[in-house]
Amino acid sequence: MADVAQRFQSGRKVLRRTISADILCSIALLGLICAFVLASMLSSERAAELVNHSWQVRQAITQLVGTVKDAETGQRGYLLTGDARYLKPYFQARSDIAAQKKQLSELVADSPTHQKQLSDLYPLIDAKLAELSSTIADRTAHRPDASMILVRTNLGRNLMDDIRADVDEFIRVENQMLKERSQAAALRRNLMLSLVLAMIVLAGGVALVMVRRAQRYADDMQATNLALQAEMLQRETAESQLRQAQKMEALGQLTGGVAHDFNNMLAIIVGNLEMLIRRLPEHEVRCRKMADNALGGAMRAAELTRSLLAFSRQQPLKPKSVDVNQCVRDMSVMLHRMLGENIQIESVEGDGLWHAHVDRPQLESAILNLAVNSRDAMNGTGRIIIETANALLDQSYADVHDEVEPGQYVMVAVTDTGKGMTPDVISRAFDPFFTTKEVGRGTGLGLSQVHGFARQSRGHVKIYSEVGVGTTVKIYLPRDVFNMADAITLDEVPLELPLAQRRKVLVVEDDADVRAFVLSALQELGYETVEADGASTALDMIDKDPQINVLLTDVVMPGCSGKELLDAVKDSRPDMPVLCMTGYTRNAVIHNGVLDHGVRLISKPFTLDELSRELRAAIFENAPPLSPSADTSSFQPSTDSSA
């Protein structure tokens, strides 16, 4: 988990650096865009200033020519009438022309062309004013003939024509300059706009890259987070199992100590009661009866202490090679008499069953305890199935069960059709003195004794239960290693699965933890997997995804059961290989009417090898193998999932 957390932190740092770089790049692009927009605005403003300046220049030169014309108009009125009032425009024009010439010169100070044109124009205007002044002077001196002679020489008209020609050329040059400047400004403006658009497109590209990169890193972070959560969940599961083991160990030490001390006290009580009974006269019937009752109570207390010692794994065991099938046969005869005719007892013996290295009397006591619990769970009416089988518990199963050593075991399972247990009850079932029975009907030590016996025998016990369906308790006993001439080790079991190629398995399981384990196991075997938490979801997925070609489903699920799912799948996909899994034994499931005969079933807990073999068998039974060269031979002991 530390590695995942370190990768998570490293990924966050990389993401922060990347996002910071992208943000800086975006800010830089935004700055460039703003700069280009500002430059474009300044260019437009400059173009407007040029237009306004050109208009001022043209207005100024037009006004100058108009003023000259006003002076000429006043001169002609005065020459014709001799009335001095006509000279008012003339004198006003002469006073305005100087200011107008100065203004015009300032407006075109940055234009050498206009400066040269004005140097040609101003002498013509001065000559025109001189001509006007001369004629006015002659008229004022009462020499009208002389002034008219000067007028008739067309000197004034020629000067005025030259002035107009120079002004027209001046305006033409100004218009040409304005046009060139406007084109240059428009070119700069278009260039700026193009650059702005390019920057916007580039910014969009950077934004898209940022989004994709952020999404990619977000996906990586999510995957890392999921891996971290998975490891955290795995650690929590392991810690929970460790706490449970520590709790059971602590309870065992406590109850073992109490049982030992209590046995010492009971030894004194029982011994003295027996001595008292022996010494009482025969006629003391009442006293003898009270002593017998006391002795019976002490013996029942001693039985309780033996149960406590079994739970604490401190009872003396004498393990030896035991034929478990023979033990079950002998126990079945006794249980038929003990449990009553309303309880049907069936025994299913595993073929080729290995011998177990176990204390037979304690095994018989464990089976008896389980049978009595089953009878009470069924209220005295129902079916009990006792089944034996060879079992192989591998490392993957041992990893999630701290008390289990991987290896070969002999399994004894007791199944009932009772009311079942809730997960909370299952978690406390092995606690001493914990019971759900009515007061006076149980001590709460039966399952505790079974658990202690299995642990002390280097075995394992597992409970599977569904409320309203029933309960299966499996005891895994170590195989007798002294009779293993034909033994095959875990390392020799083949794991390669050519059939996994192009196989897509739909896993249907309502327990999320179990479903996650099965998916991981199938992926480890090379299968493509999809998952569903119930039958209705599974049917929808099968209808929508024709690539699903194998079904692995739990038998007992809320709502639509596994049997109903199988019936529906047979109608739509009759050729689909199906493998069922359950916490019950195979015969218990079939005999209880949950599945039909012929349905392939794997029993929980199953190992990776068992899952591989059972899935291969299901595929071979329902469809031809995908790979002609697939090797279908493998060691397959009679496991707890076989009949």
Cα distance between residue 469 and residue 398, in whole Å: 28
Query: Contact, 434 vs 336, CB < 8 A?
Result: no
In the DSSP assignment, the letter for residue 355 is P
Residues 222-247, mean pLDDT to the nearest whole number: 71
Q: Which token pair is 636?
A: 């397959």
Residues 476-505, mean pLDDT to the nearest whole number: 62
* pLDDT number for residue 493: 40
Determine the straight-line distance between the first and last CA of the chain, rounded to whole angstroms: 42
- Residue 168 CB coordination number (10 Å): 12
* pLDDT number for residue 61: 87
Burial class (CB in 10 A: 0-12, 13-18, 19+), 540: exposed
Lowest mean pLDDT among 99-103, 295-299, 594-598: 594-598
- Coil/strand/helix, residue 462: strand
- Output the DSSP codes for 211-255: HHHHHHHHHHHHHHHHHHHHHHHHHHHHHHHHHHHHHHHHHHHHH
Cα distance between residue 408 and residue 477, in whole Å: 9
Cα distance between residue 585 and residue 471, in whole Å: 10
Q: Which token pair is 625?
A: 């193998």
* pLDDT number for residue 176: 84
Rounded (5°) CA angle 614-638-417: 85
Query: In this predicted model, what pLDDT tens digit does every residue of 542-577 receive, in sequence order?
Result: 999 999 999 999 887 887 777 788 888 888 888 889
For residue 323, which of 474, 435, 480, 555 has the smallest C-alpha distance?
480
Cα distance between residue 243 and residue 400, in whole Å: 13
Residue 328's identity, in one-letter code, is: V
* pLDDT number for residue 574: 86
Cα distance between residue 346 and residue 587, in whole Å: 10
Query: Contact, 376 vs 442, CB < 8 A?
Result: yes
Cα distance between residue 297 and residue 295, in whole Å: 5
Higher pLDDT, 272 or 598: 272
Q: Which token pair is 310?
A: 């079994």
CA 349 to chain centre: 47
pLDDT at 20 over 90: no
CA 163 to chain centre: 89
In the DSSP assignment, the letter for residue 280 is S
Query: Where is 356: in which H helix or E strand?
Result: strand 356-358
Residue 2's identity, in one-letter code, is: A
Query: In this predicted model, what pLDDT tens digit does every residue of 40-95 receive, in sequence order?
Result: 666 667 767 777 878 888 888 888 888 888 888 887 788 777 788 888 888 888 88
- Output the DSSP codes for 171-224: HHHHHHHHHHHHHHHHHHHHHHHHHHHHHHHHHHHHHHHHHHHHHHHHHHHHHH
Domains (ranges, CATH) in the chain?
A: 2-218 (1.10.287), 320-483 (3.30.565.10), 494-622 (3.40.50.2300)
Render the burial of 73-106: b for 16+ CB within 10 Å, e for the rest.
Answer: ebbbbbbeeeeeebbebbeebbebbeebbebbee
Q: Where are the alpha helices (DSSP H) in 141-154?
A: 144-152
Query: 414 Cβ partners below 8 Å, 6+ apart?
Result: 367, 370, 371, 374, 384, 385, 386, 472, 473
Query: In this predicted model, what pLDDT tens digit does every residue of 103-125 receive, in sequence order?
Result: 888 888 888 888 888 888 889 88
Cα distance between residue 181 and residue 52, in whole Å: 12
What pLDDT band is residue 521 in, cutting at 50, 70 and 90? confident
* pLDDT number for residue 643: 27
Cα distance between residue 312 and residue 99, in whole Å: 124
Query: In this predicted model, what pLDDT tens digit does every residue of 286-303 receive, in sequence order?
Result: 888 888 888 877 776 766
Query: In angstroms, what CA-CA distances link 225 with 7, 16, 337?
Result: 10, 17, 59
Rounded (5°) CA angle 291-296-297: 100
Cα distance between residue 578 and residue 615, in whole Å: 8
Q: Which token pair is 374?
A: 């089953």
Query: Contact, 125 vs 106, CB < 8 A?
Result: no
Cα distance between residue 88 and residue 80, in whole Å: 15
Query: Contact, 582 vs 555, CB < 8 A?
Result: yes
- Coil/strand/helix, residue 69: helix
- Residue in the structure block whose two tokens are 């650059």: 195
Cα distance between residue 451 and residue 459, in whole Å: 9
* pLDDT number for residue 489: 42
pTM of the shown model: 0.48
Query: 472 Cβ partners below 8 Å, 6+ apart?
Result: 413, 414, 415, 463, 464, 465, 583, 584, 585, 588
- Residue count of the chain: 643
In the DSSP assignment, the letter for residue 578 is E
Query: Contact, 635 vs 489, CB < 8 A?
Result: no
* pLDDT number for residue 506: 95
